[in-house]
Amino acid sequence: MQNLFIYTLKFYSYLLKVEYSLTAWISFIFLKLKGTNYKKRLKDIKDINILRSKLDLNNQKRLAIFVAYHSSHKIPQSNINHLIILKESLFEIIYVHNGYLEEKVKNDLKKKGCYVICRENIGQDFGAWKDTISLLEEYKITGNLEWLLLCNDSNFCVGGNNAISFKEKFKKFLSIKNSEFDFICLNCNYEGKKHYQSYFLCLSKVIIRNKKFKNFWKTYIPMNNRYYAINNGEKKFSQLILHNFKPKIIFSSDQLCLRMKENFIPNFNYISHLLPQNLFFLEACFIFDKSKETQKIDLVITKLINSLRKYNPSHVFGLLNIIFLESPFLKKDIVRMGVFEINQIDKLLNSNQLKITKKLKNEIIKFLINEGNQYKYLKFRRAAVRKGIPVSKNLYEYLPISKELKNIYYSRNKQ
């Protein structure tokens, strides 16, 4: 009976996904007939010479396009933390808000050194990047850049010690003058087709001046559809553009594996708080030959990482990266997607290692509570589909190694 309910829910979700796609296309066609273009969507452009002057004074020629979506009357502390990292990494910042901002907020952003643009909320982050890059191309600004960073506020930036550590690491990579890599990213996602996650992509001049890069943004259609932005934006950008260039992945699973082996605490209760909530069966990784201490650590970590590396890394490794790789970033959707529970996040934020402010802890927890979890969206399937929230909580059990560990776990507990 339960399986029938799940299958029915999945079929209904599929129909809603089709509806979502159709309404997005109809909406775009209607806007096109009204004459929409990047200039009309960028409602709030100030004198472009202000931006030119900023870049003229920037010896490193680094520019970040930070796309945000939040309340019109307040800048989230998380976004401020993110901007601090960018500023101290010597980037000029275009702060693109998908929607209206009060004048006071815009002035506060300008005081923080940002060139502020408010645009129509069309096409999500890729739509905002398209429009802003179109503006930069028209005024021939991109040709002078050494680095162009595409980033957004789909992550919390927790600040504190991790932000300091990340900033120093990032600045070091930016200062490397040889051709060791052409772009810097946080994660590479091996779930489905390999692609580099787009919420933090730092592109060198080799890519910025490439004809395929320019053509991608000219032809990209800014659709109000999450799946379109992922498939035709993030994934296609990786396949058509980034595939041809050399990456530097800051938070790779190999690096995480190595660091965990160096700093491993052989206690599943500790590790379990840093793993997705439904991965209880990973306790089977801790079944080992106690006479072989070195083998124990290596096998446990290798099994843990291998069981997760082909899922979305910003989700499954989110908390592990914060503890072991000193990442300052945490995806905002990890609770509503059913990956983690709020108490896991709360415990992490109170860790002495992070040293983050009470104000930010409260901001993050309040946001997660308001967003809700999977159960909240069982009654709101249309909203769930449009946010990409899955029907089932069993998100991380389809790989062979996951199934194997689950079988070991159950057979052990039957004995």
Query: What end-to-end distance do the CA atoms of the chain give, in Å?
Result: 29
Beta carbons of 234 and 216 less than 8 angstroms apart: no
Burial-class residue 14 by CB neighbours within 10 Å (0-12, 13-18, 19+): exposed
Contact 94, 67 (CB under 8 A): no
Q: Are 93 and 66 in contact (CB under 8 A)?
A: yes
Instruction: Give the predicted TM-score (pTM) of the model.
Output: 0.92
- Return the residue matching tokens 């930036």: 157
Q: What is the pLDDT of residue 20?
A: 94
State the pLDDT at residue 289: 56
Q: Where are the beta strands (DSSP E) in 12-51?
A: none
pLDDT computed for residue 320 by the predictor: 94
What's the Cα-to-Cα distance from 356 to each of 78, 328, 362, rounded to whole Å?
11, 10, 11
User: Could you give the 3-state DSSP secondary structure of residue 190?
Assistant: coil
- Residues linked to residue 189 through DSSP beta bridges, in sequence order: 195
Domain layout of the chain by residue ranges: 38-249, 253-414
* Domain 38-249 sits in CATH 1.10.287: no
Amino acid at 370: N
Residue 399, C-beta contacts closer than 8 angstroms, at least 6 positions apart: 307, 310, 311
Q: Number of C-alpha atoms within 13 angstroms, CB side, residue 404?
A: 10
Task: Kindly compute the dihedral angle of the four CA atoms of residues 414, 341, 84, 360, in this order, to the nearest 10 degrees.
Answer: -130
Both tokens assigned to 380: 């709101």
* H or E segment to which residue 152 belongs: strand 147-152
Q: Which residues are 248's β-sheet partners?
A: 184
At 377 the pLDDT is 84
CA-based nearest residue to 159, from 105, 78, 86: 78
Query: Rounded to 5 degrees, what are φ and ψ at 278?
Result: -95, 15
Return the pLDDT at 235: 95
Question: β-strand 114-119 against 183-185: which pairing, if any?
Answer: unpaired
Q: Which of 338, 341, 210, 216 is nearest to 272 (CA)?
A: 341
d(CA 188, CA 210): 22
Q: Alpha-carbon distance 126 to 122, whole Å? A: 9
List, as one string, the DSSP characters of 357-410.
-HHHHHHHHHHHHHH--HHHHTS-HHHHHHHT--S-S-TT--SHHHHHHHHHHH
For each of the chain's 415 residues, which pLDDT tens digit applies? Answer: 556 766 777 788 889 899 999 999 999 999 999 888 998 899 778 789 899 999 999 999 999 999 999 999 999 999 999 999 999 999 999 999 999 999 999 999 999 999 999 999 999 999 999 999 999 999 999 989 999 999 999 999 998 999 999 999 999 999 987 678 999 999 999 888 889 999 999 999 999 999 999 999 999 999 999 999 999 999 999 999 999 999 999 999 999 999 988 886 666 677 888 988 877 777 777 665 555 555 567 777 888 888 888 889 999 999 999 999 999 999 999 999 988 999 999 999 998 888 888 999 999 999 999 998 888 887 888 998 899 887 765 555 656 666 666 666 666 665 5
In degrees to the nearest 10, what's the CA dihedral of 322, 272, 393, 256? 40
How far apart are alpha carbons 336 and 349 in whole angstroms? 18
In which residue are the tokens 């979506």 written? 69
Q: Tell whether the torsion through CA atoms of 372, 377, 378 and 380 is positive or negative.
A: positive
Pairing of strands 200-204, 188-189: unpaired
